[in-house]
Structure 1
């Protein structure tokens, strides 16, 4: 699939009426990564402190903004479609609506998990909430974890769902430094929960949500295809950290800043199972969003970590060794756009970066805040999951009145459509030898569905 075709495909994936639609803006700049030229263009402008970017199963970018808004962004046009503004989000300095993640089985479990600050009886707190996506909106909030102490700074918080369907959630120390070492406190930790908010039976400490402790303010979470977990973390005035996350380990704060290189730190590290960071930064950069880059689109970044920074105002390429447990080199890119906070990577290898210049600490320009696209425009996208002849094809997608299916040769005759809760809502059948089938879907409500033909399936968005 070439780039033009992929953009046209993405342009069809608009499931609601957008606001502030725009065409992709011209190239702002470009830079070399090895022999590859990476271009930077602006996708969306005039945002207000984007905090999280997630590449969704609908091939849209899902975004949180610190003030409480959650939106979908069309990666082909930059159109921003608001889904909800959470009324109980309480912003204060660094606090507000923070991290987000989508359920990996979104077609059958249309859940969106978010972390945000709120006020209860005059007390500033933090909670993890599950929202349900239906009919182009988010609703039905369910609090999975609440009443976490918070302040206007050091709240974290990123979310990451693991292949075993457990959820990692990072929390800051909320300026209560000693609580980072208190195993009974939820502050200064990386927590691990089941997706219903309960404690996994195989957590490091039975009955406890604590996965790791000793964190100051973790601002990024990423996982490699090999299963390695990484986190970026703010230091005080020294020693921002990039950590390899291992269950049950202690990451030192506040007793250790950065490496275990002072006598008192060395003693604490040896007695408390401390895992030293893979690399540190002094002066600090204000490290933020983190992503693992596995695409061949930009070969110089393949199997590297990409790290954003706020105060440092840059993207840093962190090369990993083969085992993924050391960083032999790091290279800085993408300066000149101010504070950079959120990052996600598309299946085609495009990198999306959100600025954070309107967060009270930056110097916003007229277009800020904005989302930038970093891409190799010479890269030709090809199907890697299966040859085209072996896939179930359907179009248009999104659809409203009719849907055409094309099955692969020798595939099953039966076709079923299930809603986001896994309920079968429509069935049909290919006639003997028939390769294309057109269905009426007028009675289906707007939402995300799963179309199945034997072992093959495709997601469908109904407008």
Structure 2
């Protein structure tokens, strides 16, 4: 593991190959931050286990509370957990959260709130999409992500009812798939069943990268797991922990089509959140997963192969801050990590819990004027859709963002590999002036767009 070198009382650095990464506290005195996501408003959205949802200014670190969810009940590992935002946030300003509550016993539910940006912002109109899920003070999961097909994935722990992880009719020990209104997609593996994959113990990380879905999962003692999630696959728990390497595990894996992990941590490190990194700011981490751990007190770099189905040589970073739980990446290539030292199992410093920002301060985004001039939009003005044209081959993965007059991101979409033309829907956008920005490797192209 690479240790941090001290630069000042506030900032430390560590090397990643030829790149120097700085680590600076952004926000302090938090209480068990559980989820961090980069929002379409260019703020960090955060949950804290006690029930508070906030927006965090990534420049100043100011925490802007939105709500404390009234019926959240914390118990050991339980409380307010994962969160995700609707991908068309301007037209559908929905915030999805999962948390524990009491209802004739300890339970878990998925709830959708509606966001209003008026004033300092607020959340209202809670709508239960899936409730009554068996829960326990430990092994609650739970992360959320929304896929491009507008379905939602939700992880659940086994709630200490180990055999239920293999019961495809139970909601625990699973990755679940739902429509954004809480209904069950018609193309789920089992008709009328939210189950997407099963045989999970306590998956606490979930991310989509290069068209694939990855999850990080707590093992019991022997191995934590990084899994490639596939529909209707069995991941082995409770018979199998980690790899299929014991005689009893091998027989079960063969008989039950068990998907072995891409990577395992042995012994367990309490692996938690995971994010995908593919930005030129830290070139050594391009096409990597970055996973943070609680007991392990570290961040692990997991290089993906070109097809995303295997992991190369892993490396550990970011020691010295204690337990680490959540991680997200900004479009500018900065990485935000939360500590979890006030969760009853850590040794909190005076300023804990914190959000840390990792960045390469020497990185400057390059712009080629000639190529930038060849970045085109049509039609412009536009009403329903606009086509983006890239100037020839790009220098890396290309992300296109549409910004309103206040600079807020109102659309985000990706160019496929080798794709030069991309059609973007303008549905739900108000008439006005917008800015379209395409970030491709080390280049960035910008154009003004008028929506009628």
TM-score computed with the length of structure 1 as normaliser? 0.79
CA contact (8 A) 1:49 1:356 kept: yes
Change in CA separation of 1:236 and 1:79 when aligned onto 2, cut-off 3 Å:
same
CA spacing shift, 1:396–1:304, aligned 2, 3 Å? closer
Task: Please state how far the C-alpha of 1:204 moved relative to its aligned partner.
Answer: 1.1
Q: Contact 1:26/1:42 (CA < 8 Å) preserved in 2?
A: no
Matched with 1:279 is 263
In structure 2, the partner of 1:173 is: 158
Instruction: Tell me, yes or no, if the aligned pair for 1:125 and 1:149 is still in contact at 8 Å.
Output: yes
Measured after TM superposition, the shift of residue 422 of structure 1 is 3.6
Kindly indicate whether the alpha-carbon contact (under 8 Å) linking 1:124 and 1:150 is maintained by their aligned counterparts in 2.
yes
1:81-121 per-position Cα deviation (integer Å, ceiling 9, x unaligned): 00000010000000000000001100100000000000013
CA shift for structure 1 position 26 = 6.7
Q: Which residue of the partner structure matches residue 5 of structure 1?
A: none
Pair 1:376-2:360 in alignment: yes
Displacement of 1:428: 7.1
Residue aligning to 1:352: 336
In structure 2, C-alpha distance between the alignment counterparts of 1:453 and 1:270, rounded to whole Å: 58
The total of aligned residue pairs comes to: 384
Which secondary structure state, in structure 2, belongs to the residue aligned with residue 127 of structure 1? strand
The corresponding residue for 2:85 is 102
Deviations 1:43-83 (A, max 9, x none): 00000000000000000000000000000000010000000
Q: Where do 5+ consecutive residues of structure 1 fail to align?
A: 1-24, 399-417, 430-450, 456-463
Is 1:70 the counterpart of 2:67? The answer is: no
Match of 2:450 in 1: 453
SS in 2 for 1:270: helix
SS in 1 for 2:356: strand
CA distance in structure 2 between the partners assigned to 1:327 and 1:62 by the alignment: 29
1:410 aligns to what?
Answer: none
Offset, 1:260: 1.1
What is the distance in 2 between the residues matched to 1:357 and 1:210?
Answer: 33
For 1:352 and 1:319, how far apart are their aligned partners in 2? 19
The secondary structure found in structure 2 opposite 1:211 is: strand
**C-alpha deviation, 1:156, in angstroms:** 0.1
Specify the alignment match of 1:126 in structure 2. Answer: 108
Contact 1:26 1:41 (8 Å CA) reproduced: no
For residues 190 and 39 of structure 1, the distance between their equivalents in structure 2, rounded to whole angstroms, comes to: 35
| Matched residue, 1:296 | 280
Contact 1:27–1:39 (CA under 8 A) maintained in structure 2? no
Contact 1:313/1:335 (8 A) holds in 2: yes
Question: 1:381 & 1:396 partners in 2: Cα distance?
Answer: 22
Note the C-alpha offset of 1:261.
1.3
Which stretches of structure 1, 4 residues or more, deviate above 6 A after TM superposition? 391-394
Deviation at 1:454, TM superposition (A): 3.7
1:187 aligns with 2:172: yes
Name which of 77, 80, 96 aligns with 2:63. Answer: 80
Deviation for aligned residue 1:28:
2.3
1:259 to 240, 243, 247: 243
Asked if structure 1 preserves the Cα contact closer than 8 Å seen for 2:90 and 2:429, the reply is: no
1:49-448 alignment to 2 at 5 Å? 49-121=32-104, 123-134=105-116, 135=118, 136-224=121-209, 226-382=210-366, 387=372, 397=407, 422=428
Q: Distance in 2 between matches of 1:247 and 1:216?
A: 17
In structure 2, C-alpha distance between the alignment counterparts of 1:236 and 1:393, rounded to whole Å:
45
- Alpha-carbon deviation of 1:259? 1.0
The TM-score, its normalising length taken from structure 2, stands at 0.81
- Indicate how the Cα distance of structure 1 residues 270 and 140 shifts in structure 2: closer, same or farther if over 3 A, else same: same
Distance 2:10 2:280 in 1: 22
Deviations 1:414-446 (A, max 9, x none): xxxx9xx9485xx579xxxxxxxxxxxxxxxxx
Cα distance, 1:30–1:311 mapped onto 2, change above 3 Å: same
SS in 1 for 2:11: strand
Aligned partners of 1:109 and 1:82: how far apart in 2? 21
Deviation of 1:183 (Å): 0.7
Secondary structure in 1 matching 2:314: strand
* Alpha-carbon spacing, 1:94–1:394, altered in 2? closer, same or farther (3 Å): closer
For 2:237 and 2:204, the matched residues in 1 are separated by: 15
- In 2, Cα distance between the equivalents of 1:267 and 1:148? 31
Q: Alignment partner of 1:221: what SS?
A: strand
Aligned-pair distance for 1:381? 2.8
Give ranges in structure 2 of 5+ residues lacking alignment.
1-7, 378-401, 409-425, 434-447
Separation in 2 of the partners of 1:131 and 1:393? 23
Larger gyration radius, structure 1 or structure 2:
1
User: Alpha-carbon deviation of 1:396?
Assistant: 5.2
Show CA shifts across 1:275-300 (max 9, x none). Answer: 00011112110000000101111000
